Amino acid sequence: MSDLMIEVKGLRVTAGSADGDVVEIVKGVDFTVKKGEVLALIGESGSGKTTIALALLGYTRQGCAFAGGSVRVGTADVLALDDAGRRALRARTVAYVAQSAAAGFNPARTLMDQVVEPALLHRLMTREAARAKAVELFRALALPDPDHIGDRYPHQVSGGQLQRLMAAMALITDPAVVVFDEPTTALDVTTQIEVLVAFKRVIKELGTTAVYVSHDLAVVAQMADRIIVLNGGEVQECGDVDQVLDAPEHAYTRALLAASARKEGQLAPGGVSTEAADVPLLEIRGLSAGYGRIDRNGNPAVRVLDDVNLSIARGSALGVIGESGSGKTTLARVVAGLVERASGSVLFEGQPLSAGLRGRTSDQYRRIQLVFQNADTALNPSHTVEEILGRPLAFYKGLHGAAARRRIGELLDLVKLPASTAARRPGGLSGGQKQRVNFARALAAEPSLILCDEVTSALDTVVGAAILDLLRELRRELGVSYMFISHDISTVRAVCDEVIVLYAGKRVEAGQRGLLDQPPHHPYTGLLVDSVPALKRGWLDARRNVDVATLPPLSDDAVGTGLCSFRARCAARVEGRCNTTPPPLRTLPSGAQILCHRSADELKLLQPLRGVA
């Protein structure tokens, strides 16, 4: 058919297992995509969605091989091409936007040099023409200062901006097909809207055919025309977005939708009673922290946290939410002893914690564990999972040999991984599997407090829901507590008892998790809540007119003065008050405390104005 851009027939991909057997991971997959259509591939980690998407570029991961079938993109028979033919296909006919933009850019080269590189490698235009086209794409993708942003280096732009720059790199060759592989998974909610709106607009304007890989059903509902549901390397269901989301035919699709509903917080968090606990497990008072040399007044060169207060009871979970750059990860690192505080105190079971690891007891070191956001950099790629989990068992528990192997099996079972995973290395695991190994390593120490830094951001809906169930189960059985850092508000709703909201290092709101469900909120909390994608068509289009500004750093005039750092983005600001007087601490009807000049009644009246000025 002349209107077909992609035709996949009987695609089979195999992979070698640890014991030398060959395992079929994609099992006879068939689908077509019309010109200008957006097809979404959804499913759990290991379902084959990324493997199938990469097949459109004629590429398989290390250890995998094409075992049968055909892949046609336009007039090209992809699997029949030689190496030179596949190199010519990639970027020019089929382009790829990866999940981690940070890993896709060379930190030593300017952004412009890297964005124009595909056009120059394929000799499609001169360098001057490529630079001019890149600027046009920067403008179309709503990047700030499009004429000059290309002169920056990767570390000088935000994560959302870097993701859009990767899209510009993919689109500069005018490819017929673009593969988007989980491009917004690691982004906070406001940045995600910004990126999705830009992607959707450019795809429509250029008439690009796209394949969108995701485990986020709410995102898929905004981006795709059709959905293919995958499980175990096989197609379970294929249909229009409305049909798949509203009237799913396959039981597995219904299970995915049910897991998504569970993630939205329809299950209440399960904890242990803390009524008898007089002393919090963790208490933070007046914490200020940052990076660089601390001056004689206790101020770091770069201030990230300013006067933060919180407490976590035994067996409870505290959610910490905010955009990238709000100070969430720095807060966890201060508690873990990886970043020294500039001022304030941190108490663990009523006892002061040393600012650094050197001054802490071995028991304190064991009982506070940090699960890092990026499992790719947290796990040693040269070690097997057994070696990775065996190290904390030997260090904290003195376990070796058969006893250690038994415990490793129990830990893998806890995080829903098969025992055979122990013999594999991180490179042979999916992103979700690596994150579960990362979590199992923390559990090996049998901690009292786990600092969870975006631990479900890389997980698909079903596995993410299983991890949330695990967190609740551990709280009930072991009384373990969590500081749960996330940009995913629905996950915080599902896991946490209490929530604090950070903006540019300041605690702007704190209270029970119900504060996320019912306004009024602090204006910034309202922006975050309104930015969570809804599982319905058209939601993103309704949000197009909301201009989400970039999160500014904690401004110099806010440090020490106590002025509201959100005022530049706040539609509810009061000129003459917000820019001259520190906001008072108010208590809302929900019991939440906010830093704001507006009263609860005023915030209710201003709900239609909530957002960005």
The whole-number average pLDDT for the span 235-262 is 88
The CA distance from 101 to 556, in Å, is 30
pLDDT of residue 272: 44
Give the C-alpha separation, 166 to 186, whole Å: 14
* 562-611 per-position pLDDT tens digit: 788 888 888 888 989 998 999 999 999 888 999 999 998 888 877 544 44
**pLDDT given for residue 609 in this prediction:** 43
User: What is the spatial distance between Cα 556 and Cα 573, in angstroms, rounded to a whole number?
Assistant: 19
What does the pLDDT read at residue 428? 84
pLDDT surpasses 50 at 267: no
Interatomic CA distance for residues 322 and 188, integer angstroms: 8
Task: List, as one string, the DSSP characters of 560-584.
Answer: TT---TTGGGBTT--TTTTTTSPPP
The CA angle 548-549-555, to the nearest 5 degrees, is: 145
216-229 per-residue burial string, b: 16 or more CB within 10 A, e: under 16: bbbbbbbbbebbbb
State the pLDDT at residue 20. Answer: 66
Mean pLDDT calculated for residue range 29-48: 91
Kindly state the tokens that stand for 449: 């407090």
For the chain, which domains are there? 37-46+83-249 (3.40.50.300), 282-490 (3.40.50.300), 518-613 (no CATH)
How far is 150 from 53, CA to CA, in rounded Å? 29
Question: Out of 20-24, 47-51, 112-116, 556-560, which region has the weakest mean confidence (pLDDT)?
Answer: 556-560
What Rg do the C-alpha atoms of the chain give, in angstroms? 25
pLDDT digits (tens, 9 = 90+) for 54-88: 999 999 988 889 999 999 999 999 999 999 999 99
Out of 42-51, 123-132, 344-353, which region has the weakest mean confidence (pLDDT)?
A: 42-51
User: Is the peptide bond between 144 and the residue preceding it cis, with omega within 30 degrees of 0?
Assistant: no
Band (452; pLDDT cuts 50, 70, 90)? very high
**Most confidently modeled range among 23-37, 144-158, 290-304, 533-547:** 23-37
Displacement of CA 57 from its chain's centroid (Å): 25
Residue 275 confidence (pLDDT) above 50: no
Q: How far, CA to CA in Å, does 451 sit from each of 353, 429, 454, 492?
A: 15, 23, 10, 14
Among 278-282, 307-311, 433-437, 461-465, the least confident range? 461-465
**Model confidence at 296: pLDDT above 80:** no
Indicate if the alpha-carbon torsion angle 131, 137, 140, 144 is positive or negative. negative
Kindly list the strands in the beta sheet with 64-73, ordered across the sheet, starting from the edge strand earlier in the chain.
22-34, 4-16, 64-73, 76-77
Q: What is the pLDDT of residue 263?
A: 55
Q: pLDDT band for position 501 (50/70/90)?
A: very high
Assign 215 a pLDDT band (cuts: 50, 70, 90).
confident
User: Is the pLDDT reported for residue 21 higher than 80?
Assistant: no
